[in-house]
Amino acid sequence: VAHESLAAAVLAGDTRAAARACRVVDEAWPGHAELLAQLYSAARSAWLIGVTGSPGVGKSTLTSRLVEAMRNDGQRVGVVAVDPSSPFSGGALLGDRIRMQAHWADAEVFIRSVATRGAMGGLSRTTADVARVLGAWGASVVLIETVGVGQDELDVMRVAHGTLVVQAPGAGDDVQAAKAGLMECADVFAVNKADLPGAEALAQQLRAMLVLGHVTAGVARHGSSHAHGVQLLRASEADSGNPEWEVSVLSCVAARGEGINELLSELRRHYAWLTGTERGRARWGQRLREELVQRLYAGLSSALFERHAPEIERAAEEVANGAVDPYTASAALIERWT
Ligand SMILES: Nc1nc2c(ncn2[C@@H]2O[C@H](COP(=O)(O)OP(=O)(O)OP(=O)(O)O)[C@@H](O)[C@H]2O)c(=O)[nH]1
Ligand SMILES: [Mg+2]
């Protein structure tokens, strides 16, 4: 395969090769799946941490602090900054770059931004692929920062082993935002900007919500978006024994580097749970199963669309001119192809 030597160079820890591999997978060049297949087993040992939350809560500042802490441990670190907007809009990404500046010069830190929505699973597929390239390059930890607005961005967090949801006082609708999706993807909550008024109240609100939401924990969390896979996939998790992961709320002041080690050890404790307990392993196994299902959905539908393009075009024409209804037309095509 064309990318074999590229894979070898990435696996040897070559930074330029990793940058090139990121482009290959980000832009879905021919052979990118084969490249990723070659990197997969090495990438599996990397610990992927998602960092999300509303705009401006301090995700980048906190991510940068976590990188610092891991670098002090001598670990090679990857950062994937997911920018949901256009790569040309600048703003957020530029800000992130400035905050990450301290790490750009560090050869043991690889920072990559991802903006492609693309086909085949879009943002979360690209993020998973890029994070794996960084893992194969030798990052023992890959931090994935994304703004916690919109389903696509929240889906990105499913790529990570653990998700840190960052909240901050004064962001207005903090807890409201937490309710809408963010709450469900949190493995650990960080109440950042604990130097500002309202931080303690926010932490208490979050804790109260966790207690209330506890009944459904582990069932509602991390559900699959594909109806099919869900039941099949969930059964294994429900069957496995305790203990369920308990989400906690920790305070920090990322700007001053306070509370970072505590956050890191809580995240480590989560990773130990995920990889070292029956229920944790079932949870992670479910995610990996879901990835296959997602890739099949995307791959099968694009393959079918490609192969049957003229037929689909004819049916579309008939629906458009009223010769047939869309229900009958789609049912007939699906019947013929399956
Ligand atoms: N008071 C205070 N300000 C902080 C703290 N951490 C970050 N900030 C400030 O909050 C602002 C936003 O920080 P970022 O790290 O860019 O936040 P973000 O969540 O990455 O922002 P986006 O990526 O734009 O959504 C900056 O001005 C930071 O200096 C903190 O602990 N306390
Ligand atoms: Mg940021």
β-partners of residue 249 are: 189
Query: What's residue 113's pLDDT?
Result: 86
Ligand 1 atom nearest 95 alpha carbon: 16
Q: Where are the beta strands (DSSP E) in the chain?
A: 47-53, 77-82, 109-114, 141-147, 162-167, 188-191, 248-251
Report the nearest-CA residue for atom 21 of ligand 1.
56
**Which has the minimum average pLDDT: 7-21, 35-49, 94-108, 125-139?**
94-108
Q: What is the DSSP string of 7-44?
A: HHHHHTT-HHHHHHHHHHHHTT-TTHHHHHHHHHHHHT
pLDDT greater at residue 251 or residue 103: 251
Q: Is the CB of 98 under 6 A from ligand 1?
A: no
Q: Is the CB of 95 under 6 A from ligand 1?
A: yes
Write the CB contacts of 132 (distance below 8 Å, at least 6 apart in sequence): 36, 39, 40, 43, 46
Q: Is the CB of 258 under 6 A from ligand 1?
A: no
Report the nearest-CA residue for atom 10 of ligand 1.
58
Report the nearest-CA residue for atom 28 of ligand 1.
58
Tokens of 109: 């830190």
Residue 326: pLDDT band with limits 50, 70, 90:
very high
User: Three-state SS for 286?
Assistant: helix
**Site of tokens 């949190």:** 186
**Which has the minimum average pLDDT: 125-134, 149-158, 172-181, 272-281?**
172-181
- Share the mean pLDDT of the chain: 84
Ligand 2 center to residue 92 CA distance, Å? 6
Ligand 1 atom nearest 258 alpha carbon: 31
Q: What is the mean pLDDT of residues 67-75?
A: 93
Q: Is the CB of 122 under 6 A from ligand 1?
A: no
Query: What's residue 228's pLDDT?
Result: 43
Q: What is the mean pLDDT of residues 233-242?
A: 52
**Cα distance between residue 228 and residue 233, in whole Å:** 9
